């Protein structure tokens, strides 16, 4: 609505401008319409237009009475509130009132106005038409313009209401997404701190590495996680760093197969969308496999379509969590529904010896930030003292 202030703004200057344009257009229309009546047209086009302009201006007062009565009383106070009986009765009253004003103008005002503008000798007279005929004539024009004004008022009202509902829906979705992100961060942090605590208890030299890695990941979450979209290569880098943390935890016991695309520039994804799947595999899969834990992640991008296949081994008797069972998976599924409706496919399988996650997702394609200062500011704005995640992979 801000893009069309002349139509929707409530500022006095815009409102006065709208009404001035509306009634000016109506006056011009009535002037042309009356000018081509047989009673005036024989006097010549210019003289007919001169006479009809006076008629249209005088009758506009009755038209305004009915139009404003409908727009500012009947519609907002009764129609939109569902009081239809009262609306009909008031509309009839305003119609009769407008017709009466027009009849009085016809009998006592119109001739005088014509005499003042055109001259008494050259001006035709309407006063002999009678009250009833004048009433009917006034109703005809009043109902026409009032119906148009009421239609515009209703369309504007419903458009504004629809726009506000859309804004509320967007705000609601944005609020849901913020809540989901806020739940992802503590969930990830809880698991990682548990790992660090276990290493610190036994005096492991890997604890400093874990702290440094966690610092990089939290920095990514802090500065990139609040963006609507992040470069896909940065998201992949964050996933790689997460694997580094887990490899430190498991040492040589963990067999990792990591196949990530080399060139993902120009593509964007919602931040922290893939991490819950990876984290879930470590939490419910490899952590229970005592002999030789393994995990395999393969991500490809073809024409903007990302395909992820994530597998990890599991011990006998360990069931996979239901897709909606864990906080992380629940959240990411909800985020996929909100952010990528009809643009993703997710399949989670629990086989006897392996968990399998297949995800297809349509990535966003954007201009490279380096080629556009505006895009760089929007998509890769980095707060002061921010340092990219180091590549330990």
35 falls within a domain: yes
Pure H helices in 226-371? 232-250, 275-284, 327-339
**Measuring CA to CA, which residue among 102, 124, 121 is closest to residue 35?**
124
Task: Name every residue whose Cβ is closer than 8 Å to that of residue 190 and which is 6 or more positions away in sequence.
Answer: none
| 294 belongs to a structural domain | yes
The domain tally of the chain equals: 2
Q: Which of 107, 139, 168 is the last residue of a domain?
A: 168
Task: Give the strand order in the sheet containing 230-231.
Answer: 230-231, 267-269, 364-365
pLDDT of amino acid 326? 58
Query: 197-206: which pairs have CB atoms within 8 A and are 24 or more residues apart?
Result: 198/249, 199/248, 199/249, 206/248, 206/249
β-pair partners for 346: 359
Q: Which residues pair with 345 in a beta bridge?
A: 360
Q: What's the pLDDT at 341?
A: 87
The domain boundary, picked from 142, 168, 194, lies at 168
| pLDDT the model gives residue 381 | 38
State whether 163 and 287 are in the same domain: no
- The confidence score (pLDDT) of residue 387 equals 36
The closest alpha carbon to 58, from 110, 119, 134, 130, belongs to: 110
Q: At what angle do helices 45-69 and 131-201 cross, to 10 degrees?
A: 60
Distances (CA, A) of 78 to 35, 144, 192, 323: 38, 21, 61, 50
**CA neighbor of 98 nearest in space, from 131, 57, 140:** 140
Tokens coding 278? 């990876």
Residue 177 lies in a domain: no
Pull the structure tokens for residue 339: 């952010």
Cα 130 from Cα 136, distance rounded (Å): 10
Statement to judge: residues 296 and 370 lie in one domain: yes
* C-alpha–C-alpha distance, residues 332 and 338, integer Å: 10
| Residue 259 in domain | yes
Q: HSE on the CB side for 260, CA within 13 Å? A: 19
| Predicted structure pTM score | 0.50
12 and 138 assigned to the same domain:
yes
How high is the pLDDT of residue 316? 61
Query: 97 with 34, same domain?
Result: yes
End-to-end CA distance of the chain: 49
Q: Do 302 and 359 fall into the same domain?
A: yes
Please indicate, yes or no, if residue 308 is contained in any of the structural domains: yes
Q: How far apart are CA 129 and CA 177, in angstroms?
A: 70
Q: Do 220 and 299 fall within a single domain?
A: yes
**Can you give the pLDDT at residue 86?**
93
pLDDT digits (tens, 9 = 90+) for 49-105: 888 888 889 889 899 999 999 999 999 999 988 899 999 999 999 999 988 898 888
Q: Do residues 132 and 69 both lie within one domain?
A: yes
pLDDT at position 377 is 36
Do 353 and 229 belong together in one domain? yes
pLDDT, residue 385, reads 34
* Domain encompassing residue 64: 5-168
- Choosing from 148, 168, 188, the residue where a domain stops is 168
Instruction: Specify whether 344 is located in the same domain as 298.
Output: yes
Q: How many CA atoms lie within 13 A of 388 on its CB side?
A: 10
Q: What is the mean pLDDT, run by run of 10 residues, along the chain of 393 residues?
A: 72 90 92 80 78 88 92 91 91 90 85 74 56 76 87 87 74 61 59 73 74 80 80 90 79 84 87 84 65 87 93 67 56 83 89 87 73 38 35 36
Q: In CATH, what number is assigned to the domain containing residue 223?
A: 3.30.565.10
Q: Do 325 and 374 fall into the same domain?
A: yes
Q: What is the pLDDT of residues 122-139, one digit of tens each?
A: 555 555 556 777 777 777
User: Is 132 contained in some domain?
Assistant: yes
DSSP state of 253: G
Residues 6+ apart with CB under 8 A from 308: 274, 277, 297, 298, 299, 357, 358, 359, 360, 361
């Amino acid at each position: 609505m801000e893009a069309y202030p002349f139509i929707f703004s409530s500022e006095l200057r815009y409102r006065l401008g709208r009404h001035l344009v509306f009634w000016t257009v109506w006056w011009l229309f009535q002037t042309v319409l009356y000018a081509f009546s047989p009673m005036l047209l024989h006097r010549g086009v210019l003289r007919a237009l001169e006479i009809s302009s006076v008629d249209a201006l005088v009758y506009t007062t009755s038209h305004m009475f009915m139009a404003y009565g409908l727009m500012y009383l009947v519609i907002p106070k009764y129609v939109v509130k569902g009081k239809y009986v009262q609306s009909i009765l008031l509309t009839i009253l305003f119609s009769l009132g407008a017709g009466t004003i027009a009849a009085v103008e016809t009998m006592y005002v119109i001739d005088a106005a014509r005499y003042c503008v055109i001259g008494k000798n050259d001006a035709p007279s309407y006063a002999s038409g009678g009250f009833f005929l004048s009433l009917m004539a006034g109703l005809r024009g009043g109902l026409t313009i009032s119906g148009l004004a009421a239609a515009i008022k209703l369309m504007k009202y419903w458009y504004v209401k629809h726009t506000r509902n859309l804004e509320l829906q967007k705000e609601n979705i944005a609020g849901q997404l913020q809540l989901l992100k806020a739940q992802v961060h503590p969930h990830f942090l809880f698991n990682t701190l548990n790992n660090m605590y276990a290493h610190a208890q036994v005096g492991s030299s890997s604890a400093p590495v874990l702290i440094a890695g966690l610092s990089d990941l939290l920095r990514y979450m802090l500065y990139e996680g609040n963006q609507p979209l992040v470069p896909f290569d940065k998201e992949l880098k964050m996933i790689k760093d997460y694997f580094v943390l887990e490899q430190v935890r498991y040492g040589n016991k963990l067999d990792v197969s990591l196949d990530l695309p080399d060139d993902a520039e120009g593509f964007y994804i919602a931040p922290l969308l893939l991490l819950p799947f990876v984290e879930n595999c470590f939490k419910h899969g490899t952590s229970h496999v005592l002999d030789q834990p393994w995990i395999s992640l393969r991500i490809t991008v073809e024409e903007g379509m990302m395909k992820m296949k994530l597998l990890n081994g599991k011990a006998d008797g360990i069931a996979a969590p239901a897709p909606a069972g864990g906080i992380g998976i629940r959240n990411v599924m909800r985020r996929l529904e909100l952010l990528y409706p009809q643009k993703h496919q997710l399949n989670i399988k629990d086989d006897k010896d392996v968990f399998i996650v297949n995800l297809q997702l349509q990535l966003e394609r954007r201009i490279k930030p380096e080629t556009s200062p505006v895009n760089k500011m929007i998509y890769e704005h980095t707060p002061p003292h921010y340092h990219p995640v180091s590549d330990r992979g």
